[in-house]
Amino acid sequence: MAESISDVQHRIASTKNTRQITTAMQMVQTSKLNQIQKSAIGYQDYVSRVKAVVMHLAKSQLLNDASSDLQSDRPIKKIGFLVVTSDRGMVGSYNSNVIRDTNQFIEEHQKDTKDYVILAVGGTGADFYKKRGENVAYEYRGVSDIPTFNEVREIVKTVTNMYENGEFDELYVCYDHFVNRISSTFRGEKMLPVDQESLGTADSEESDVHQLATSYDVEPSVEEVLKVVLPQYSESLIFGAILDAKTAEHASSSTAMKSASDNATDLIGQLELRYNRARQAAITTEITEITGGQEALNQ
């Protein structure tokens, strides 16, 4: 059955309404992206300095000579994977990419044990792993669009307590790193225990703090200093990862909404062309009928 002119008109109006919504959402997400980028830029300098200090502690052998709850040489019997996703949809391929790359990362880093737990920040990841029957030991939903340090501190405190209580022996954070407004890359970083592997590439991220000496006079004691420095180090890395992931989420959502608006514009163009052709055909038919009737009256 041929589509009527009124049906085409209805589809055009409906698509225009959809485009109006997606365009507004794109503007909102772009605004959030601009805000969180300002926060991220300022925070990166702080993170680089914290990493630099911990790296120098490692070089001076203080990390090896002292003990802390966040350092451990216990055998790796269970691994924790902190997965950062969004709580909602309409973020393009963001969530599917994070989950796909995380699953691959888990397969590569299970080492000699197949026992692991999922710690999900974001409802999409939590729901996905629950449906698969995975051991979701912790979930946190409702991370703000522009996360604050105090908000993430609750997550860090819970995670570190789980580590100290032996619920897992090693922690990796899996998230999408923001590259630019149209692309992001997956990162899987070891956070706990704090050792040479988890410090990883901190050397390359040091700022001018790298001029610090590698020997220290410590008061009141090395252990007391590490009780302050190492939790702050872990907090800064996990907060930085969540902030980075949220930036990538907003960028993906903005791109997805722009793509939806562009597709709606293309569809409207096609529908308007179809409408004009149908209208022209209807007018031609009416003219033909009028002409035919006039000829019949003249006979």
Closest CA to 14 of 24, 6, 26: 6
Closest CA to 183 of 104, 97, 88, 90: 97
pLDDT digits (tens, 9 = 90+) for 219-274: 666 666 666 777 777 788 888 889 889 999 999 999 999 999 999 999 999 998 98
Domain ranges, ordered by start, for the chain: 28-254
Q: Give domain 28-254's CATH superfamily.
A: ATP synthase, F1 complex, gamma subunit (3.40.1380.10)
Encoded tokens for 202: 């901190």
pLDDT of residue 67: 54
CA count, 13 A, side-chain hemisphere, 203: 5
pLDDT digits (tens, 9 = 90+) for 64-108: 555 555 556 677 888 999 999 998 888 888 999 999 999 999 988
Q: State the chain's mean pLDDT as an integer.
A: 81
Give the E-state strand segments of the chain in sequence order.
79-84, 116-121, 136-140, 170-180, 183-192
- 24-33, 45-54, 199-208, 268-277: segment of lowest average pLDDT: 199-208
Residues 111 and 76: beta-carbon distance below 8 Å: yes
82 vs 40, 71, 238, CA distance in Å?
Answer: 20, 18, 9
pLDDT of residue 205: 46
Examine the pLDDT at 210 and tell me if it is beyond 50.
no
Mean pLDDT over 201-213 rounds to 46
pLDDT digits (tens, 9 = 90+) for 125-140: 999 999 999 999 999 9
Check residues 22 and 228 and name the one with the higher pLDDT: 22
State the pTM of this model.
Answer: 0.78
Q: Cα(226)–Cα(67) distance, rounded to whole angstroms? A: 8
Residues 193 and 209: beta-carbon distance below 8 Å: no
Closest CA to 80 of 21, 146, 165, 148: 165
Distance of CA 168 to the CA centre of its chain: 24
Residues 255 and 180: beta-carbon distance below 8 Å: no
Confidence of residue 202 (pLDDT cuts 50, 70, 90): very low
DSSP track, 8-19? HHHHHHHHHHHH
pLDDT of residue 189: 87
Examine the pLDDT at 203 and tell me if it is beyond 60.
no
**Beta-ladder partners of 189:** 173
Q: Cα(218)–Cα(230) distance, rounded to whole angstroms? A: 15
Q: Is 97 helix (H, G, I), strand (E, B) or coil?
A: helix
Check residues 264 and 210 and name the one with the higher pLDDT: 264
pLDDT of residue 39: 79
Q: Cα(128)–Cα(164) distance, rounded to whole angstroms? A: 27
pLDDT digits (tens, 9 = 90+) for 159-200: 888 888 888 888 899 999 988 888 889 999 888 887 666 666
pLDDT of residue 35: 86
Percent of all residues in the chain with a pLDDT value above 90, rounded to a whole number? 27
pLDDT of residue 209: 44
